[in-house]
Each structure stands twice: as C-alpha cells, then as structure tokens.
C-alpha cells in the first residue's frame, strides 16, 4: 500500500486524576501539545480534543464552553461544534479537526494522524 495512515500518540496528562484536575467536568481548556494548540473538553462521556482554532474566524475554542449535548461552543459567535465529528451544528459548513484521546495506565494520550507515502 502506497499510502498509510500513522498515528503519533503524545501524552497530554500524567494520569486520569491529573486530567480531571486540569479540566473539570463540563469545562474546556487550551493545551499546547508539540506545536499544536488543542481544545480539550471534559463531558459526561469523557475527554475530547479538537483543534483550538475556530474555523469561522479563528477564536480560541478553549475559551468557550461545552454543552450536555456534546458540543464545544465558540466564545465569539457561539457556533457549536460536535466534539465527536467536528461538524458545526445548525447546518453550517464549517468543521473543526478532531483528535482521538486514549486513557491508559500510564497517562492520557492524544493521537495525531498523518498520511505517509510508503514506496517500499
């Protein structure tokens, strides 16, 4: 296969307790991971991560809030983005990049996917 999807996992938090302390239930925050800024949300379904930059006009989604319906809400114009799919609600065409999060024994990790060209 010429193109392969690879996921690089980076540690966001040392433990689930550290994650809960940093991002309380019902809150969002911005965290820098590598060279990316991600918005981490903590809902009743767990932790979610999306790109921090709002696709509408560039505001920091980490300054917004999350809803019980699983959306992050931009603080500027209040667009809602689904935390699982990244799609904007209300029929808008915008979407935000989502990133998988895994809770493991040795910490909470975020995955960054990329497509790799592999000739051999």
> Could you list the residues that contact ligand FES (CB under 6 A)?
54, 56-57, 59, 74, 76-77, 79
Nearer to ligand FES, 76 or 103 (CB): 76
Which CB sits closer to ligand FES, 9 or 65? 65
- Based on CB atoms, which residue is closest to ligand FES, 58 or 100? 58
Closest approach of ligand FES to the CB of residue 117, in Å:
34
Question: Which strands sit side by side in the sheet containing 46-51, from one edge to the other?
Answer: 28-33, 36-43, 46-51, 98-99
- Tell me how far, at minimum, the Cβ of 100 lies from ligand FES, in Å: 23
Q: Could you tell me the smallest distance in angstroms from the CB atom of residue 25 to ligand FES? A: 23
3-state helix, strand, coil in the chain (%, to 5): 10, 50, 40
Q: Output the smallest distance, CB 55 to ligand FES, in A.
A: 8
Shortest CA distance to 45 belongs to which of 14, 78, 71, 64? 71
Going by C-alpha positions, the residue among 70, 72, 71 that lies closest to residue 62 is 72
């Amino acid at each position: 296969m010429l193109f392969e999807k690879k996921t690089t996992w980076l540690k966001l938090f040392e433990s689930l307790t550290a994650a809960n302390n940093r991002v309380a239930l019902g809150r969002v925050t911005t965290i820098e991971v590598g060279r990316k800024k991600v918005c981490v949300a903590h809902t009743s379904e767990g932790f979610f991560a999306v790109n921090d930059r709002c696709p509408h006009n560039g505001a920091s989604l980490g300054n917004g809030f999350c809803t019980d319906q699983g959306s992050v809400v931009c603080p500027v114009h209040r667009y809602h983005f689904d935390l699982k799919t990244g799609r904007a609600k209300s029929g808008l065409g915008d979407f935000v990049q989502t990133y998988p999060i895994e809770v493991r024994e040795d910490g909470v990790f975020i995955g960054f996917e990329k497509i790799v060209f592999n000739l051999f």
